[in-house]
Structure 1
Amino acid sequence: MKSETNADLPTSQLEDPGDGRSIESFLGKVVKEYRTNQGLTIADLAEQSGLSRSMVSKIENGQVSTSLDSIVSIARALGISISALFKNFEHREGNAQHVKAGKGMEVVRRGTTKGHTYHLLAYDQGPVKLFEPFLITMDDEAEVFPTFEHPGTEFIYMLQGKMEYRHGNRSYLLQPGDALTFRGSVAHGPERLIKLPIRFITVIMYGQSPELDT
């Protein structure tokens, strides 16, 4: 078994100036990800790398500043290059919100109780609501729609079907691929459903566009 050199000392938390992650915690996360993806246990990786189980555990938990010899041993045991372990180190930590198809929260808007569903595609977690994206489906030609008014700017992108959409005193024919952007403070809403089912994406952005306010 290879010895763990004096370079494997308690971590000094050397920081990446990009986003504050330590090298140790980043390496540990990557090693664990490669290990689990290959179906290996900590004991398996320890045996194949020549390190002790406790050392592999400390490395994965970012608790030691790992020597180059130990990193080489782990990379060989995992069948990857050393560069593969660090290839994403300078990338900022991802924190995207992923909503799977059909899993958006269904919400009810005023006056839309049948044949008209809203699925919220992102959940704004900040103290101030910046935007709301919805997938809207309409499949009942008998539905009567109210008009809507709200702060900010709204963007619509048609995916399926055909309808006339009113904004103020003007009406627009919307078909797949069409987009419509307008001030939310002016009364608006579907006026006539021409081809069902109708599906479109609408994004309400809170904070008005200067071009649309003129």
Structure 2
Amino acid sequence: MGMPELGRTIRARRHKIKKTLVQIAEETGLTAGFLSQLERNQTSASISSLVVIAKALNIAVSDLVEQPAQALPDTYQGQRKPYSVINGQVRYERLSTVFPGSQIHSVKFTMPMGYKSETVSHEGDEMVFVLSGKVEYAVGMERYVLNVGDSLHFDANIPHSVEVLLHQNQQAELIWMGTTKLFEEFVQISTSKSRKSSSGGHQVFKGGTEFFNVDVKAVGV
């Protein structure tokens, strides 16, 4: 979904449910100024911001950004489909699936040098691990400069943002994990006493001491 369509979608939905920018700002933790710019297609938004905006508008995240399905529990380098919210400024690769009772959502994201996100806060917690580049996370009043191999785990209820620092002309690649619900579809998982071979649209994998049977057809919640 391109930004013009995204901005129109947010504004049209907000008008339909008769909420002001100030009300949406209060519910999302984003500023009214940022939301106004987003509606007028003058800025971009992170997926985390779209999650809280969708919640305030009482719509699905998929109404604001198209994300690839991930029915299987495993993903492989070079086979994941990259996607972005706006013009490829931040590129995402989905790492996690969703099943009933699952809590963790995860993406790999790549940010260009000099990128700075908006400040956002939401329920849950987040953890990031730096694969390449150098970033600075602002979490409340604290600042954390992270290099390759560094990580950060924090309460996402605290306002936070990330900036890619100038470092050897490098972009930044991070693994993000959190309890924020980025993805909405799920796959059905049931335990099996014996190992089965893959067939009929099912993929079997071992988890701990049990085998799980995963239906690769995603079912919308």
For the superposition of Structure 1 and Structure 2, which TM-score range results when normalised by the shorter chain? 0.3 to 0.5
Normalising by structure 2, we get a TM-score of 0.43
TM-score by length of 1: 0.45
Greater relative contact order (CA < 8 Å, ≥ 6 in sequence): 2
Q: Higher Cα Rg: structure 1 or 2?
A: 1
